[in-house]
A and B are shown apart, each in its own frame.
Chain A
Amino acid sequence: GQQLNQSPQSMFIQEGEDVSMNCTSSSIFNTWLWYKQDPGEGPVLLIALYKAGELTSNGRLTAQFGITRKDSFLNISASIPSDVGIYFCAGLFDSGSRLTFGEGTQLTVNP
């Protein structure tokens, strides 16, 4: 079945630093989604990407849909303590198919 490899597994950074994480797939997707999950909560959608090569921003977050359609990247600029959480990528081939998740990147921001 489809597998998403997300890296790094965890990151420890200082407040104000920029962060990058990525997700690669063994098969192509036509939609990439990035979610953030806080402890005890469900994942919250941050950014959605619909086209290969697309670059989309949401505040300090920027995500890119890889040209090969097998990868995606998320960048967070000028991190703040509330950025702490687990970030998940998810891929979808079409609206009728399974939404597959990566294993997550645990982000810790030290004040």
Chain B
Amino acid sequence: EAGVVQSPRYKIIEKKQPVAFWCNPISGHNTLYWYLQNLGQGPELLIRYENEEAVDDSQLPKDRFSAERLKGVDSTLKIQPAELGDSAVYLCASSPNRVRTDTQYFGPGTRLTVL
């Protein structure tokens, strides 16, 4: 079974430029998460999707961040414009939407460096 796929793995951009990250979850997983992980810290939730619906985006900085999950499968996270403080690893995770005992499966992450 293929795991969560993310691309690109690394991205270097200059501040004020736009950037987009792509995630393909495990087949059949209805729930998709985007996390922000700063260096030496644990992941912090940005947004969670149930199928194509964003059900928790309270931590997403909506002035510059946006996300979409068309058709309830792949998802894209965008930052426009990027700021120096956005340098971090952006993790995507997915899980089957069972009522009990969900476990998240993480992708390898996209390491963003904003210069």
Partners in one complex: no
